[in-house]
Chain A
Amino acid sequence: MINNITLSGARAKGPRPYSLGDRSLEDALNIIMALAGELAVVRERLDTLERLLEQKGVVLPEEVDQFVPTYDQEKKRQQWQADYIARILRIVQQELEAIQQPTLNNSNMKEILEELGISQEID
């Protein structure tokens, strides 16, 4: 049996041209574009739902645009937003923490081991 997930993402035989000077940057660009695609998929699904709700007379488009959340709904919504943004920008937060608390975050493994009294060769 084939693994359709890994096979779907298989590499095409042949040299792959990299255009950005930094390969990891090009990896990041590819990941971002894939995410942009998935966002478009969600957006289109929502659009389908709105059209169906409109067709069936359940929810009219202007009702979506004019919707104002209640206080409880607002809290949940904003909490979700804060959580979502923090997840996306995790790396920036962690880099900041390393700057703010250098002694806690910037020591290398060898220093930590020495502090613990363990001697071990680490590359």
Chain B
Amino acid sequence: MNDDRAILYNLPPVYNRVEKHGAFPDISHDETARFNFLTGLNRHLNRIVEPGVKAIFEKRVRPRFEAQTGRLFTTADEIQEMMMQDSQYQVGSALRRSTIEMIQQATRSVVLRQIDELAEKARYYNNQRPETLKLNPAVEIPCYLSVIDQGCMPGSYYTEYGNDDVTNAANYDAGQFLITDGRLGKLSDGIGRGLVQWLRLNYPTFSPKQILDIGCGSGYQTLPVAMGYPDADIIGVDVSAPMLRYGHARMVALGVDKVTFWQANAEQLPFVDNSFDLVFTTRFLHEIPANSVEAIIQEIYRILKPNGLMLHIDQAGNAEAIPLFDQFVHNWRALTNNELFSLDIPQRNIVKWLHSGGFAERDRLQFGIEVINDFAGKSTPIEAGAERVAPLIQHVFGGWK
């Protein structure tokens, strides 16, 4: 296939190119093929089916509504109610949910068949450096995490199926490529890389010595930030033991020795006042209800040093500025992904949060970073094509203390 055709089709790389570290599950030929199908299906939905929803709205649903009522849509719920009656939208929506569930089944069948081997691999790496894995069984799973399985992953991040279990963390790792249709790079760390690139470009003299990643999971974005600031001490906290256990093993397997993985709740961080230069979260706040987000921002302000920097890489809302149709699409995605707390994002008020945390308006930051996708090597035209068509931008907000 030639270069132009690859760009036209916007093909994702094959799963074989995912970097498999020592703690990674073994994946057979046919499991890889199944992942390739699901990645391609996901990208097809993103590129073909989902943009079609806008056409359905513009060409069919809105004209019908306006003809029937003699007025414009006034709420996103109103749009949803009308869209739900359109057969083309119904099929697209059903396909989206079906794909999410198939991805979970495909990755879970891989990790669950080797559950004991995965625990053994993680133990092997974790025993090499036990001092940087600080688990605390007294940490309780917040009810907002246990009330619904975020992202449709059965058992969510925290469920343990046995001693030293890493099942759902390994499941998450194996599935990152499928869920993001290969846009986060070989180690799914493209957001962290993009953050470092942006900070270096815009604040070249900013040189944090103490860094904290809250809700770090298995440290996908913690590691690239640690490597971007080699002189810094960096800690990742999360409530989920399996994610930390697996993430720590993954770090050791990758030959990185920078990060301490620490089990803690973001609302009560086990750190003294004024102790960090940089605190960040990645795709974390949309899984947290608004009142807890406020508490977390206040907690971050407490532990930040003066002139320290807080950044959140996540969607953020401002209902007045978001068109109704985009609000509807956002809600549709949230419902389809089981992202309960993401539903109120259009109503969330970043400025209010920052002020209640103690941050001043003049110190507020809001910008976009480009995800660095290292699949975009020159090795094959397919990878080059995929990258040129789909650079991924992430929204970031935060402020200086």
Contacts and interface: CB of A to CB of B under 8 A. Distances in A.
Interface in A1-39: 2, 4-5, 7-14, 16-21, 26, 29-30, 33-34, 36-38
Interface string B60-104: 000000000000000000000000100001111111011101101
Given A10-B154, A17-B335, A33 B98 contact: yes
Interface string B98-126: 11011011101100110100000000000
B104 to A, nearest CB: 7
Interface string B325-345: 000000000011010100000
B98 A30 contact: yes
Contact of A14 (B95, B106, B113, B338): B338
B376 to A, nearest CB: 23
A4 B84 contact: no
B34 interface: yes
Nearest to B340: A14
Given A12-B154, A13-B154, A37-B38, A21 B90 contact: yes
A44 interface: yes
B161 interface: yes
Contacts of B149: 12-14
Contacts of B34: 37-38, 40-41
Contacts of B154: 7, 10-13
A9 B105 contact: yes
B58 to A, nearest CB: 20
B95 A12 contact: no
A12 B153 contact: yes
Contact of B37 (A13, A21, A40): A40
Contact of A19 (B94, B113, B155): B94
Interface residues of A, number: 31
Given A2-B161, A12-B152, A41 B37 contact: yes
B27 interface: no
Given A2-B112, A19-B91, A30-B101, A41 B33 contact: yes
Contact of A4 (B30, B90, B109, B153): B109
Nearest to A44: B33
Contact of B95 (A2, A8, A17, A29): A29
Contact of B108 (A10, A16, A30, A34): A10
Contact of A45 (B30, B41, B104, B112): B30
B362 interface: no
B336 A4 contact: no
A42 to B, nearest CB: 8
Interface in A36-61: 36-38, 40-41, 43-45, 48
Contact of A20 (B30, B91, B113, B152): B91
B95 A33 contact: yes
A102 B104 CA distance: 45
Nearest to A2: B161
Contacts of B36: 40, 44
Interface in B183-226: none
A5 B155 CA distance: 15
Nearest to B108: A8
A4 B113 contact: yes
Given A8-B108, A37-B38, A13 B148 contact: yes
Nearest to B336: A17
A121 to B, nearest CB: 40
Contact of B115 (A2, A10, A16, A30): A2
Interface string B36-50: 111001000000000
B59 interface: no
Interface of B: 29-30, 32-34, 36-38, 41, 84, 89-95, 97-99, 101-102, 104-106, 108-109, 112-113, 115, 147-149, 152-156, 161-162, 335-336, 338, 340
Given A7-B161, A37-B106, 5 more contacts: A29-B94, A37-B102, A40-B34, A40-B37, A41-B37
24 contacts: A2-B115, A4-B109, A4-B115, A7-B112, A9-B105, A10-B108, A12-B148, A12-B153, A13-B149, A13-B154, A14-B148, A14-B149, A16-B97, A19-B90, A19-B97, A20-B90, A20-B94, A29-B94, A30-B98, A33-B41, A34-B102, A37-B37, A37-B38, A40-B36
